[in-house]
């Protein structure tokens, strides 16, 4: 896609703070973070929305979720079991789909959001 900002980031045409990349995915810090940790994970291949992927892309979507967990842990957001049995920490993942779903950039992407609350 010629005008897709995320395609341009994946191609190295627009700078980003990249925290992970491989042949399928690239992850970078959001330029307008909603929390202390706010990472975007995108496939290198362009898909407009989550609704654009098919059954043949299940592996890619699974890889995105697995990476989300790994990046959250690396950023210090993984849930931690305390001595008293309670959990602290944590993060959330989010994929907006379409205008009513809050999607602003039409390239499939997953938000990984975490860090100490309150978030704005």
Domain locations in the chain as residue ranges: 5-114
Which residue among the candidates 38, 107, 109, 111 is catalytic per the annotation? 109
Predicted structure pTM score: 0.94
Residue 109: active-site member: yes
Using a pLDDT cut of 90, give the percent of the chain over it.
89
> Rounded to whole angstroms, how far apart are CA atoms 92 and 113?
5
Which pLDDT score, from 0 to 100, does residue 1 have?
A: 64
pLDDT in tens, 17-33: 999 999 999 999 999 99
- CB-count burial class (<10 Å; 0-12, 13-18, 19+) for 48: middle
User: Model confidence over 36-81: pLDDT tens digits?
Assistant: 999 999 999 999 999 999 999 999 999 999 999 999 999 999 899 9
| CATH 3.40.1190.20 describes domain 5-114 | no
- Inform me whether the pLDDT recorded for 120 exceeds 90: no
The pLDDT value given to residue 119: 78
| pLDDT of amino acid 2 | 75
- Cα 69 to Cα 72: distance, rounded to the nearest angstrom: 5
Cis peptide before 118 (omega within 30 of 0): yes
Q: Dihedral through CA 15, CA 44, CA 69, CA 102, nearest 10?
A: 80
**Confidence check: pLDDT of 94 > 90:** yes
Number of Cβ within a 10 Å radius of residue 26: 22
């Amino acid at each position: 896609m010629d005008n897709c900002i995320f395609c341009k980031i994946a191609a190295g045409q627009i700078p980003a703070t990249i925290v992970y990349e491989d042949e399928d995915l690239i992850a970078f810090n959001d330029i307008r973070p909603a929390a202390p940790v706010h990472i975007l994970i995108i496939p290198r291949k362009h898909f407009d929305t989550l609704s654009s992927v098919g059954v043949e892309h299940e592996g890619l979507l699974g890889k995105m979720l697995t990476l989300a967990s790994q990046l959250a842990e690396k950023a210090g957001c993984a849930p931690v079991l305390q001595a008293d049995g309670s959990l602290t920490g944590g993060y959330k993942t989010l994929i907006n789909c379409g205008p009513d779903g809050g999607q602003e950039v039409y390239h499939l992407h997953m938000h990984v959001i975490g860090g100490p609350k309150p978030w704005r």
